[in-house]
Structure 1
Amino acid sequence: MSWRRALKDTARSGIAVEKKRLEPLIAVRGAAGLAIVIALSLWLFGPAAAASSAFGAFQAAIATFQRSWRPRPELAIASGTSLAVSTFLGYLTISKEPLFLALLVVWTFAAGMSWAAGPTIGLIASSNVAIMLVTVTLPTSVAQAAGHAAMMIVGGLVQAALIVLFPVRRWGAHRDALADALAAEADYARRLRHDPVASFDPQPLMEARNAAAVTPRQARRRPAELHGARGIAERIRPVLASLADPAMGVPAEGPARDRVRELLASAAALLDAAAHAIRHGEPVKVPPAALATFRTPDTGSILTGAPYRAMTRLNTLLQDVVETAGGAPQEGASQDGAPSGARGTARSAETDGRSTPGRAPTDPGARGTARSALTTRSRPTFLALIPKALKAMRSELRRGSPVTRHATRVSAVAATGYILGTWLPLGHGYWAPLTSVMVMRPDFSQTYSRAVARLAGTVIGVAVATGAVQAASPGTLLSGALAVASAALMYLLMRTGQFATQACIAAYVVFLLGMGGEEWTQTVPERVLLTLMGGFLAMLAYAVYPAWETPRLRTRLADWLATQGTYAAAVFGSYADPSASNAPDVRQALLTARTARAAWHAAVARATAEPVRHRGLSRTAADDAEDALAQLGRVAMLLEAHLPERGATPVPPAARFADALRESTHQGAKAIRERRVPTWDAVREALDAWETENPENADKVVRNTATLVLDTLTELSEALDTAVPPMTLDGTAPEKPDGPRNPKDSATR
């Protein structure tokens, strides 16, 4: 992408306003806390202290809006306290410019490194540095500075108290995450009716898993419907895929395919009903027609083998998820009085593998798997997060780390902006470094889009606030009220985009400083000019000292291949030794592969917006490689849907294949990092040996799945072989051999 197009796209992204679900009650709560702090400070200490305390309460409320499944009161307290410490130390050194400049560099570097611990901590730390540049100018003595710092802590305490006393949708985020996961699976079931190999984005399941992690105190108070349904939903996805995929035995057309379509439609209806019940905290209203589909007595004569097992397992899992989601359904009770779709449904099947009339067969293994997924995930307390955050920052403190480059870049820009702002005859020189710190992020697109949003929002916010000041000539109280209104609007629109947020912040600062006695003519012109300069410095710094994601795409792809191979190998290993308790290994490998997949997609999204050429991995090659790895995960998932129970017949060749797959994918990941095309000779040899040892194909499903795995790996090599030619050690591109290509040649080249 050219620089011109990159700048155009990021500018458009910065000024875009997205449609998001608004949270007015949360906005009112944050604004109420701000109003309480301002009123208390005005009454006790006067306008200057009120402005400082208002910044503390304002920042504390912003901290509680950051990505968190439940607002943590500790975040508000930590934000107010850290801002107080920053302000007090800044005031002690502000009279000695070299000393303050050194403190600013150290503080900004630490804030930049804090992004290693996550975006929430990174944003709070960066905001504290930016606000500190304003608040250090308000006190006039050490005693006043201490008082202002104390009021900032009070602001954080007030916001924390409001969170505890007036919770809004206490478990709303958890409900939404779990309901979204179930709704995504319902949509997946519908798409499988028309496209048996449809893709599925596991992001909703990952979000639900994150939401399921709670502290011990939260676990005691969590609603019953949030227990266990996520674990069951995790098991439903591979069963849906296995039931629909033609590779598992159901023909593309015919009575069996029609039956599968009916089952998928009913599964979608049941999942939607469970999602609605969980989202709104209501009893489940189960569609009777969906239950009747699973009770059809002739299912055993239509579906056999793996599809029949998938149907029975799906039936059991759906019964569990409906029951867990909202207790006994209100509609569709069975004739014997038991809840339809819950415990009242039959739990037994005939020994010949077919259902009895009017009874739905079940799979005991599915129930055991589902029940094992009901364990509670523990979320560390706030204090326990501190050593983890420090460890993450320490691990990123190395040469070549994007986070370290960001910290170096933002600290250098902050110091440069402060020096230039002080040197220019504009006054209020801190606006330049403040803008730089607020807009700079570890990646290109966010830095540039936020810089544009900051400038555009500042102009609009200042213009509106200036017009209000000129029209009303507000005094101290009215200025404070207008500041609170601006903050409330910012809290309400925070999730809609940076443009609206920055406009509200600009108006808030104008009104707040006006409350402290500054005229708008003293701040508006230089604020706009210095904001422009700060944004320009931030954009220039990233261009001069970048941390592009594009060159790291191969590493991200290699990580995904290695984890995907480990997951597939764990699934095959389960068939090699069913007596071993390896279900946790499969689960952990799947979660690791999902994390690597998410990292790949995030990297691709960032790289797409960067104005740099690809370095060994074109967009076409990246897309084809992504499709191949997604297919590898889907094939392994199909086999995971039928993990054998203890006592099942082992498949010894699967052990050799699993070992070859695990080792080859790790070696293939190394080859991708070194810009070479991976080869799969060991996997092909293990598959050939499997066919030789077991020519009768007693384990036909597992053997066919292994063939599909090799096919996807070959597709991956073909995709990478169309990329930029791999480089030799001397930096030259080797010549490609003449002649036609075929999958085997490309895989072994």
Structure 2
Amino acid sequence: MTWFRALRGSAREGLRIERTRLEPLVALRAAAGVAVVIGLSLWLATPSVAASSAFGAFASGMATFQRSWRPRPVLALVAGAGLAVSTFLGYLAGAHWGAFVALLAVWAFLAGMAWALGPTAGIVSSLTVAVMLVVVTLPTSVYGAFGHALVIAAGGVVQAALILLFPVRRWGAQRDALADALAAEADYARRLRHDPVAPFDPGPLMTARSAAVITDRQARRRPAALRGTRVLAERIRPVLASLADPAVGAAAEGPERDRARELLAAAASVLDAVASAVREARPVCVPPQAESVVLVDPAPEEKLTGPARRTSLRLVALLSEAVSAAGGSGGSVGGDHAHLRRPSVAELVPLTARTVRREMRFDSPVFRHAVRLAAVTPAGYVLGAALHSGHGYWAPLTSVLVMRPDFSQTYGRSVARFVGTVAGVALATAVMQSFTPEPYPCAALAVVAITLMYGLMRTGYLVSQVAASAYVVFLLGMAGSSWTQTVPERVLLTMLGGVLAMAAYALFPAWETPRLRDRLADRIKTTGRYAAAAMEAHAAPAQERREAVRAALLDARAAALAWDQAVARADAEPVRGRGLSRRAADGADAALSAMGRVPMLMEAHLPPSDADPVPDAAPFAHRLRTATADAADAVRERRAPDFAPVRATLDAWPASDAERIVRRSAELLVETLDDLQTALRPRPRTRPSRRR
């Protein structure tokens, strides 16, 4: 992709307005926290203190809107504490220009490395840098700086207190994550009616699993509907695929296929009903037509036979259990204490240190982002000071808020921030010029602007920046700054900050394109390990084998998600040498998706611990695991993989009716390996013939 097309695509993405589910009550609560801080500061102190303290309340409230499964009061308190520390340290070094620039570089680097802990930590850390840039112009003494830091920390305390006093949808984020996973499975069941090998996006299930990681204290307070339903959703997905697949489920045509379609449609209706009940915290209301199909014992003249009938009975049992679990009448799969445990604070500190340490390498996107941030932030501050505008911190402020570890978000947010800044400043300036309000009306206008920003934050970065820019203008007006001192300079410095951010990524990029082969190799290896684990569970049935299959499935999902994200980012990057052709990437993706489907089908037929083993599956599993690991190394080294040993092992496998499902799964795996080998086989370069 050329630079022009990449920039155009990133700009469109940044200016896109999304239609998403808004949370007006949460927005009003966060805006009320800002209003309380501004009002108390105006009453007890001066408009300047009120303007600065409002920034802390605004940032603490903004932190609670980030995607995180931790309690919202904790996020507000952590954000407020970080902002207060940043404020105080910034002022201590602010009296010495060189020391402040050095501190700014170090603080920006640490904020960049915080992205290793996730987007929420990265965004909150970026806000602390923004605070450091702004507040050093406000206090006049060490005592004043300390008081200013306390006021900003108080903003986080106010936001946390409001969350505790006025809770909105307790466990709402976890409910939404689980409901989205169930709704995705309902959609999957409907698509299987028309396409028996339809793909499934595991993203919602992975998100639901992340949301289920809780502390022991949270486990005691968790609603009953959230205890076992996620585990049931995980079990339902392979059963749906197994029922629809002609290889191991219902026949491709005839009465069996008609019955399978009927069951899939009813299962989709039941899953939708359970999803709606989980999301809205109400009893499950299953449509009567679906209840008559899947929530009663099948008739004696059931049209399904063999493995398809066993799968349908399993599906009916799982759906009935899901309805019971979502209704709150028990249904705690594995017991109340069988939850995914979140590490405590004491355990989190060394875990955080190890995570950051792993990213301290030159080829890490997070490390390169931290280096860019550490260079751009002080450079923008120096350039802003050289312009003698009085508001030079707006340039580095823009850079800090728009820079992300990947190319498309950095460029898209730079464009969106500039457009939103111009629109917001123009609108707020027109209001200030027309009415010249006093401090209290300015404070009221600022609260209205921040309410709009919180309420529309999820609709896109552009919309939120319009409201945020107006909010800042009203705060500065409340503090006594005239619009002529801020508006033109802020627009110019915002453009400068955006240009610096984009130039930094162009000069010191962290392209995802060169890493496509590594991502593909990881996916090949983990998918092969998942398939081998499912085979081994049939070769030697045991409870630990089931746990190994589960662990391998999670690794395969993570690798598949990393691959999908890498391809999406590479498509938006202006890099010509992909290292992996589009044809090879698409072919490998299709082959690996089909390959990952086979062990998923086998999961629906995993034998109990006392079942008869399938010894012939053991050598095939061993050869499959070894061959896919070797293939991953071959992909990294730009060699063609070789799966001939796997086919040879399959040919030596004697046929047996008792092993029909396992043997058929092995045949499907070999077919997908052949497709993968074909996709990755290098094609000879042909030169166009010269015309005489």
* 1:106 equivalent in structure 2: 106
* 2:312 equivalent in structure 1: 311
* 1:320 equivalent in structure 2: 321
* 1:364 equivalent in structure 2: none
1:667 aligns with 2:646: no
Q: CA deviation at 1:614?
A: 3.7
Q: What SS class does the counterpart of residue 459 from structure 1 fall into?
A: helix
Q: CA deviation at 1:270?
A: 1.8
Q: What SS class does the counterpart of residue 646 from structure 1 fall into?
A: coil
**Conserved in 2, the CA contact under 8 Å of 1:238 and 1:640?**
yes
* 2:690 equivalent in structure 1: none
* 1:569 equivalent in structure 2: 532
Q: Number of aligned pairs?
A: 686
Aligned mates of 1:251, 1:48 — CA distance in 2: 75
**Conserved in 1, the CA contact under 8 Å of 2:533 and 2:548?**
yes
Aligned mates of 2:391, 2:569 — CA distance in 1: 35
Q: CA deviation at 1:705?
A: 0.7
1:134 aligns with 2:134: yes
Aligned mates of 2:336, 2:160 — CA distance in 1: 34
Q: How does 1:79-94 map to 2 (within 5 A)?
A: 79-94=79-94
Aligned mates of 2:389, 2:9 — CA distance in 1: 32
Aligned mates of 1:461, 1:722 — CA distance in 2: 53
* 2:667 equivalent in structure 1: 707
Q: What SS class does the counterpart of residue 132 from structure 2 fall into?
A: helix
* 1:608 equivalent in structure 2: 571
Aligned mates of 1:448, 1:695 — CA distance in 2: 58
Deviates more, 1:162-171 or 1:258-267: 258-267
Alpha carbons of structure 1 residues 530 and 249: separation in structure 2 relative to 1, 3 Å: closer
Deviates more, 1:512-521 or 1:627-636: 512-521
Q: How does 1:39-58 map to 2 (within 5 A)?
A: 39-58=39-58
Q: CA deviation at 1:186?
A: 1.6
Aligned mates of 2:399, 2:334 — CA distance in 1: 51
* 2:355 equivalent in structure 1: 392
Q: CA deviation at 1:297?
A: 5.3
* 1:358 equivalent in structure 2: none
Q: Which has the higher contact order (CA 8 A, sep 6+)?
A: 2
Alpha carbons of structure 1 residues 680 and 299: separation in structure 2 relative to 1, 3 Å: farther
Q: CA deviation at 1:373?
A: 11
Alpha carbons of structure 1 residues 575 and 99: separation in structure 2 relative to 1, 3 Å: same
Aligned mates of 1:481, 1:325 — CA distance in 2: 44
* 1:718 equivalent in structure 2: 678
**Conserved in 2, the CA contact under 8 Å of 1:117 and 1:390?**
no
Q: CA deviation at 1:180?
A: 1.8
Q: CA deviation at 1:608?
A: 1.0
* 2:615 equivalent in structure 1: 652
Aligned mates of 1:315, 1:483 — CA distance in 2: 55
Partner letter of residue 466 of structure 1? T
Aligned mates of 1:458, 1:209 — CA distance in 2: 38
Aligned mates of 1:719, 1:611 — CA distance in 2: 24
**Conserved in 2, the CA contact under 8 Å of 1:300 and 1:308?**
no
* 2:214 equivalent in structure 1: 214
Aligned mates of 2:3, 2:406 — CA distance in 1: 15
Q: What are the superposed Cα offsets for residues 1-44 of structure 1, whole Å, 9 maximum, x if unpaired?
A: 11111111111111111111111111111111111111112222
Partner letter of residue 128 of structure 2? N
Partner letter of residue 303 of structure 1? L
* 1:595 equivalent in structure 2: 558
Q: CA deviation at 1:418?
A: 1.2
Aligned mates of 1:372, 1:680 — CA distance in 2: 43
**Conserved in 1, the CA contact under 8 Å of 2:219 and 2:336?**
no
Q: What are the superposed Cα offsets for residues 446-487 of structure 1, whole Å, 9 maximum, x if unpaired?
A: 000010011101101110110111011011111112112111
CA RMSD of aligned residues (A): 2.0
Q: What are the superposed Cα offsets for residues 344-390 of structure 1, whole Å, 9 maximum, x if unpaired?
A: xxxxxxxxxxxxxxxxxxxxxxx9xx658982222234564343323
* 2:499 equivalent in structure 1: 536
* 1:405 equivalent in structure 2: 368
Partner letter of residue 663 of structure 2? R
1:478 to 416, 429, 441: 441
Aligned mates of 2:300, 2:249 — CA distance in 1: 15
**Conserved in 1, the CA contact under 8 Å of 2:219 and 2:337?**
no
Q: What SS class does the counterpart of residue 441 from structure 1 fall into?
A: coil
Deviates more, 1:418-427 or 1:68-77: 68-77
Partner letter of residue 698 of structure 1? A
**Conserved in 2, the CA contact under 8 Å of 1:61 and 1:76?**
yes
Q: How does 1:90-169 map to 2 (within 5 A)?
A: 90-169=90-169
* 2:180 equivalent in structure 1: 180
Alpha carbons of structure 1 residues 327 and 31: separation in structure 2 relative to 1, 3 Å: closer
Q: What SS class does the counterpart of residue 113 from structure 1 fall into?
A: helix
**Conserved in 2, the CA contact under 8 Å of 1:475 and 1:515?**
yes
* 1:739 equivalent in structure 2: none
* 2:594 equivalent in structure 1: 631
Partner letter of residue 617 of structure 1? L
Q: What SS class does the counterpart of residue 698 from structure 1 fall into?
A: helix
* 1:521 equivalent in structure 2: 484
Partner letter of residue 322 of structure 2? V
Partner letter of residue 348 of structure 2? L
Aligned mates of 1:653, 1:176 — CA distance in 2: 44
**Conserved in 1, the CA contact under 8 Å of 2:640 and 2:682?**
no
Q: What are the superposed Cα offsets for residues 187-229 of structure 1, whole Å, 9 maximum, x if unpaired?
A: 2112111111111111111122122222222211222122201
Aligned mates of 2:380, 2:362 — CA distance in 1: 25
1:549 to 473, 497, 512: 512
2:424 to 441, 449, 461: 461
* 1:356 equivalent in structure 2: none
Q: CA deviation at 1:296?
A: 6.8
Q: CA deviation at 1:70?
A: 5.3
**Conserved in 2, the CA contact under 8 Å of 1:182 and 1:275?**
yes
Q: CA deviation at 1:697?
A: 4.6
Alpha carbons of structure 1 residues 429 and 551: separation in structure 2 relative to 1, 3 Å: same
Alpha carbons of structure 1 residues 516 and 296: separation in structure 2 relative to 1, 3 Å: closer
Q: What are the superposed Cα offsets for residues 523-567 of structure 1, whole Å, 9 maximum, x if unpaired?
A: 111111111111101111111110000111111111111111111
* Structure 2: gaps of 5 or more residues: 688-692
Calculate percent identity across the aligned residue pairs.
59
